[in-house]
Amino acid sequence: FRAQEGAEDSKTLGRRDLIAHGFTANDVLVGIAASGRTPYVLGGLAFAQELGAPTIALACSEHPAIAAFADIALIPVTGPEAITGSTRLKAGTAQKLVLNMLSTGTMIKLGKVYGNLMVDVRTSNKKLEERARRIVMEVTGCTRDEAIAALQAADGRAKLAILLQLTGCSAAEGAARLTAAHGRLKEALA
């Protein structure tokens, strides 16, 4: 990877990149600029606002310009960097923590967790197969062999395997229940 020097100085490039990625009013844009005034981010946020898409500004400076183009402004003011001009230090770390919180909240809201477990696991490799088995066992209290059988019946989908194990329903019925519950296991179990 190489930095694209100068790209951050273009408001039109921010807009163009969103168009190229198919950004619509149904999406949410998080504009990230440690300084709070990066033209690329300003252009992207302005475009998202024009579309009527929800916008969030994430900056680490007081009174950031990008806040004017956002529905929500998240401003973890970290103070001056130990090395002046190196926003990868405190500002970058603070922004990473905020992004972790946003993504965690999103996964919870989308029903990808049950309690504190990531139940929306698809077993695409050995590590994830083992993780899914442990999750099914923990939620249901079943044995390893029962978890394996439930995961096989659920085509490797942990959330569906849990539902099958706890309710005894068929995979088709379980999938229909999850669909009706918008993918939320807790609601599908009710």
Q: Where are the domains of the chain?
A: 7-109, 113-189
What is the DSSP code string of 93-149?
HHHHHHHHHHHHHHHHHTT-EETTEE---B--SHHHHHHHHHHHHHHH---HHHHHH
Specify which residues 143 forms β-bridges with.
none
Q: Which of 90, 88, 69 is nearest to 14 (CA)?
A: 69
CATH number among 2.60.120.380, 3.40.50.2300, 3.40.50.300, 3.40.50.10490, domain 7-109: 3.40.50.10490
Structure tokens given for 61: 């400076």
Which architecture does CATH list for 113-189? Orthogonal Bundle (1.10)
Direct distance between the N- and C-terminal alpha carbons of the chain, in angstroms, rounded to an integer: 48
Q: Which of 142, 182, 144, 179 is nearest to 162 (CA)?
A: 142
| pLDDT (tens place) for every residue of the chain, 190 residues total | 566 666 688 889 999 999 999 999 999 999 999 889 999 999 999 999 999 999 999 999 999 999 999 999 999 988 888 888 776 788 989 999 999 999 999 999 999 999 999 999 888 899 999 999 999 999 999 999 999 999 999 999 999 999 999 999 999 999 999 999 999 999 999 9
